[in-house]
């Protein structure tokens, strides 16, 4: 009986370590994705600021971000039904 418990404990430890590593990788990927999105938004703002001025660029970028956030909120509400 103790051998079975010992084997189960090793299996649980192995699974816990694998899960922790996977969660850390997902966290790093999420942070990198947010940084990438931030740079894309910044580049879009810089381009729009050259074309239409900084005030209009800020307004356009803000509206695009709000629209994307609203789309994700709507998608989330549809998925949770």
Given 3-state DSSP classes, what are the helix, strand and coil percentages for the chain, each rounded to the nearest 5? Answer: 95, 0, 5
Q: How confident is the model at residue 4 (pLDDT cuts 50, 70, 90)?
A: confident
pLDDT, average across residues 20-36: 95
Cut 0.85: pTM above it:
no
- What does the pLDDT read at residue 1? 78
- What does the pLDDT read at residue 50? 96
pLDDT higher than threshold 90 for residue 9: no
| pLDDT one-digit tens code per residue, 34-70 | 999 999 999 999 999 999 999 999 999 999 999 999 9
**SS3 readout for 11-37:** HHHHHHHHHHHHHHHHHHHHHHHHHHH
Q: In whole angstroms, what is the distance from residue 10 CA to residue 12 CA?
A: 5
């Amino acid at each position: 009986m103790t051998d079975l418990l010992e084997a189960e404990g090793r299996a649980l430890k192995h699974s816990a370590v694998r899960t922790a590593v996977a969660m850390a990788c997902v966290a790093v990927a999420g942070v990198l994705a947010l940084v990438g999105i931030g740079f894309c938004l910044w580049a879009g703002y810089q381009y729009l600021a050259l074309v239409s001025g900084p005030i209009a660029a800020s307004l356009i970028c803000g509206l695009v971000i709000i629209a994307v956030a609203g789309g994700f909120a709507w998608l989330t509400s549809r998925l949770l039904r």
